[in-house]
Structure 1
Amino acid sequence: MSHEDQRLQPSYHHNQYPMQNWQYQPSDGQYSQNPYMAPIGYAPQYVNRLKLRRFQAAWYPKVNLKIARRAFSRIGLALLVYTLSTSVFYSLISAGIDFWFPQPQGQWVNIIDTLESSGAQYFVGFPLCLLIMQLVPSFPPRPRADDPAARMTPKRWITIFIMGIPLMYAGSILGNLTADSLSNGNYSNILESMYANPTPASMLIDAVITVLMAPIVEEIVFRKMIIDRLHRYGEALAIGVSALLFALMHANPYQFFYTLAWGAMWAYIYLRTGKIQYTIWLHMAVNFMGGVVPTVLSLIAGDEGSLVIDDQQSAKDQFSELMQGGGVVYVIYGLVILGLVIAGIVLWVRNRKKIELRPADWQLVPGIAARTAWLNAGMMLFVVLTVFATIVSPFLSIFQ
């Protein structure tokens, strides 16, 4: 190996786990002429032009990859315990109630089932998950007071919400196509059965869980706890891991793509502002729009069968039947959604250049980052379990 090749090799400390070392000293003409920005307290670093073109970053510090891999593994393990403990305690609670109390009838079947699953998730799985995540050191984002991105005005909050609408509906379409392809069209969205035949009692319970409890718990876990512990290894890595874990946790192909999109947006907002309440409010608004509003509309509009197109009727007769059957509510709702989708696309075009990812204190090289984040026991077990849970139900519906 030539002297030049030896100089470019990562340096490992004696008797220490291999550490990435991508800080190059300037030499010859293959390096950039001007130094690039570095974190406070560090000197600007010169970078090989090929490396800059590939990674779009100028500073990669020494990072103990063993410590980094352990952090990601414990995050995956915490979510694995969250999932398994919720499932186990839900089964135990359900079996106990079935044994000690008579079988509920009518609307109480879905209500009791919702309370059982929510109780197991929020009072057993959630605390256990937090306990394990506490084993990973926390470094909350601390934006500067003069940073414009750290301020969340009502106008900016509404702008972000509208920007998420086209992503949500595009993700919903992709989710439907994915579920249909996995099941040959035989699988139905579990959320439809949850909100089917609503009653005042079931609507109240669903609203409390969907609009209040779920956003608070999920934002604490997937934004506060995860971002605080992973963003020091790179903002893009932390956003991607947080969003993907959030999507996999739902274990539902219908929800995967739009939860992935929303998860990435909320992770970015939390990184820039350092305020978890902003993402909680956004999450509440999205769940209200996606869960409560359609249920209320179904009660107002009545029978959705009036929306079915009959090729034996004239267009005038179909429109008259649609209006008489309460379909006007759906028409207005559809027009509002269409307007929000168009507005969201326009806002993305106007604001796309404002989105930026900043260098982290322990920034990982992209190739090393992916291996460090996912090739560890905790993450692999969680991903395998949730991917299996997401795919197996639609696939088995083919044979039913």
Structure 2
Amino acid sequence: MYENELVPITKVLLVGLDKNDPQFGYQMTELTNLATANHLEIVAMITQKLNRPNSATYFGKGKVEELKEALEYHGVEMVVANDELSPSQIRNLEQQTGAKVMDRTALILDIFASRAKTRLAKAQVAIAQLQYQLPRLRTSMNIRLDQQTGGGGGSFTSRGAGETKLEMNRRHIEHQISLLRQEIEEIEADDQTRRARRDKQNIKNVALVGYTNAGKSTIMNGLVRRFGENKEKTVFQADMLFATLETSVRKLNLPDNQSFLLSDTVGFVSNLPHGLVAAFRATLAEAAQADLLVQVVDYADDHYREMMATTAQTLKEIGVTDIPMITVFNKADLRPETIYPDRDGDTVTLAAVEDTSLDLLVETIRRHILSDFATVELLVPFSEGALISELNDSAIINATDYTEEGTLLSVTLTAPQLARFEKYIQ
């Protein structure tokens, strides 16, 4: 669901525990943004200082009473918690307050479910949702969960109807997860085939990574419009969290005939549910296979350092390590007294909405991934036509001509390729 759709607004109370975490204020701000992204209207916020959550009700007894009174005062029937709650915490809070309780994990899953558009994204979100539901399965209130009395010990026939229903639900969910994983494996196999084809063509891959809503899609679209092989093939962009869940790959052709692939990946957020991180490994595979990462940072946000830490942690969790990375401080036009576009080593300060900034970014990317390329002319004898096929598969062909001695090619080659075709260089 996007901003132009009519979405019913639900009023909610946000709640959170301050466990002496210096980032607590930022986390609650982030929770506010997540709730807003899910079309929830925040009417109040209740917090409590505790070293650890109450195992039964998350909040202490007195704070639970305060929460109940606040819900009644504001006429609100829903609570959104900053942490992932246990099934018993959710159940007890709902019983004592009379309100529906959604934790941070469920909120993020809900947002992802509403944004997923492709077959892969939908399958990934569905798996994460089902895994979240498994430990939270409940039977209807009129079904007994206890075992009936009588002989048979732990046999199936001695189980209560409620427990039998619970096991059936659990098996059904586990079967659904298994089917979805098979579907993802099929999609991954197709993606790996496409990546192998690109690798054979020796095209470098650059992946945009970073906190959600930092401007990755804006950068992608700006570069596609300037250098894209298909300039109309832009990606969806909007000023919202998780506007893009799918990884989009576009080929960029630079004026000197050199090319590279640019990938726009799903954005990150702190405390991203582990199930969701695991489910989206396939989507983030482009980042894992990249020759260069471009970390995009919202420089206009006061919490940009925390966002960078979130990106570093998430990349570590999904196993993306040892890949060169440049850092882009985006939205510099919204940060007072900031000089841009500017570059300091592997750090670029820019505004993605301006062409001069995009040009500086491309030049920085070029220094990393295209510095070992050289454009030369090769004369390949007609008797060695197999080499032409090899070059078509693995090199960048800029121009082709035919002479009496053979095929004359203008090609862009890597250093190893230069050595391989050295005797044909004119």
Same topology, TM > 0.5: no
Task: Output the TM-score relative to the length of structure 1.
Answer: 0.28
Task: Output the TM-score relative to the length of structure 2.
Answer: 0.27
Greater strand percent: which structure? Answer: 2
Greater helix percent: which structure? Answer: 1
